[in-house]
Structure 1
């Protein structure tokens, strides 16, 4: 029996993000086996992409473009993080490396909690932010794509300063969407689920942290879930195109 060929690559080496992405896509795209045809950058042989952008959207587009070009597959990427009000939106795009070492969740969380130790509960508002992008390899620079109805073009998101594809000399059609999950920061981590800063953010209207939510419940409200659901029509259009 012939091996199942991947159709979609998530531009990350973070296994937690891959698990969430597969569950968000499960049953949403007819004929797509998310367990075998949706892979991460490591399985596709693509390297980590340096996040050199200055916004979440720039970084997500950069990762999607680079991995699409490297693999020849439709690529989806996200850049997400925690924005704390009293820190002026920090850690923001530096969330994954706030403590100085990329991906050390425990160290990042410990440093942030120490920095906020003297902040009253009334001023501990924060939000998770996500920009999710899809890119199609090998297409004409600046070419738009997308569902039959909805936004006319899947190029850049001008709201946070991302330039149109032609400005980068790209060879991939692309689109980016956003999501946010507001909440309040705890003083100590709670819960064993999720990853990143999930154990210290309690979403507005709830009394449990993101790490205490069941995966399906978290995906239903999360910043990443919001962004990927908005992106879904463009992912479908991209797969049809490629």
Structure 2
């Protein structure tokens, strides 16, 4: 018998990575938000306000809301780019750095413009991810929660490279690599990525509780 788990995101790039990271667990039936059957009280699941001030807080907010609204275990993440010379920004504002409705392209373009005069030795940055699993409590019991975090250290490029990935992938070159994250295959990226590390740490909990 398979266990159902909701992947609490509408970001297609994240969904692809989530599915790849959980592919080794065929006993888990992965559901995205669009395919989950919810009652009318759960309308607007995809528009959960990210009111936390850390990646972990926002990750838990999303997983808790989806678990409560669907009655199913939910896994969510919050992730972004932390640039050293910007004091960790864009951080939790990564997805809307160029505005509330900004595109990945506009976010990258603005960031590169802001750092245009920063030399290579000061362009250190990291992708950061906090992942959460929330399992609804039975008969009004408290939910069970697990969290994990991961980082991918690298250097910001001065121009975009590569067609793969999403978000800031085309402008971050991981330490020890000559390619940007967007030039890596999905398998290569997952093996070293912030999301891959966070989900690898969370995977044993997911399998232990749901597998």
Determine if the TM-score, normalized by the shorter chain, exceeds 0.5. yes
Match of 2:66 in 1: 67
Alpha-carbon shift at residue 104 of structure 1 (Å)? 1.1
Q: What are the Cα deviations for residues 12-64 of structure 1, in whole angstroms up to 9, with x where unaligned?
A: 0011111111111112x2523xxxx2122232253221110000000001100
Match of 1:87 in 2: 86
Match of 2:7 in 1: 10
**How far apart, in 1, do the equivalents of 2:67 and 2:125 lie?**
33
**How many equivalent residue pairs?**
204
| SS in structure 1 of the partner of residue 56 of structure 2 | helix
- Superposed, 1:22-37 pairs within 5 Å as 22-27=19-24, 29-32=25-28, 37=29
Alpha-carbon shift at residue 234 of structure 1 (Å)? 1.5
Alpha-carbon shift at residue 140 of structure 1 (Å)? 7.8
Match of 2:172 in 1: 201
CA contact (8 A) 1:7 1:74 kept: yes
Q: What are the Cα deviations for residues 186-211 of structure 1, in whole angstroms up to 9, with x where unaligned?
A: 01110000000000000000000000
Q: Which runs of 5+ in 1 are unaligned?
A: 144-170
Match of 2:17 in 1: 20
**How far apart, in 1, do the equivalents of 2:139 and 2:91 lie?**
33
Q: Which runs of 5+ in 2 are unaligned?
A: 39-44
2:163 to 173, 192, 195: 192
**How far apart, in 2, do the equivalents of 1:189 and 1:18 lie?**
23
**How far apart, in 2, do the equivalents of 1:54 and 1:235 lie?**
26
Match of 1:39 in 2: 31
**How far apart, in 2, do the equivalents of 1:96 and 1:88 lie?**
17
**How far apart, in 1, do the equivalents of 2:101 and 2:7 lie?**
19
Q: For the aligned residues, what is the CA RMSD?
A: 1.9
Instruction: Compute the TM-score of the two structures, normalised by the length of structure 2.
Output: 0.91
Greater fraction strand: 2
**How far apart, in 2, do the equivalents of 1:207 and 1:125 lie?**
15
| SS in structure 2 of the partner of residue 90 of structure 1 | coil
CA contact (8 A) 1:6 1:39 kept: no
Q: What are the Cα deviations for residues 109-163 of structure 1, in whole angstroms up to 9, with x where unaligned?
A: 011001001101110000000000000013488x8xxxxxxxxxxxxxxxxxxxx
Instruction: Compute the TM-score of the two structures, normalised by the length of structure 1.
Output: 0.80
- Superposed, 1:1-242 pairs within 5 Å as 7-27=4-24, 29-32=25-28, 37-44=29-36, 46-102=45-101, 104-139=103-138, 171-239=142-210
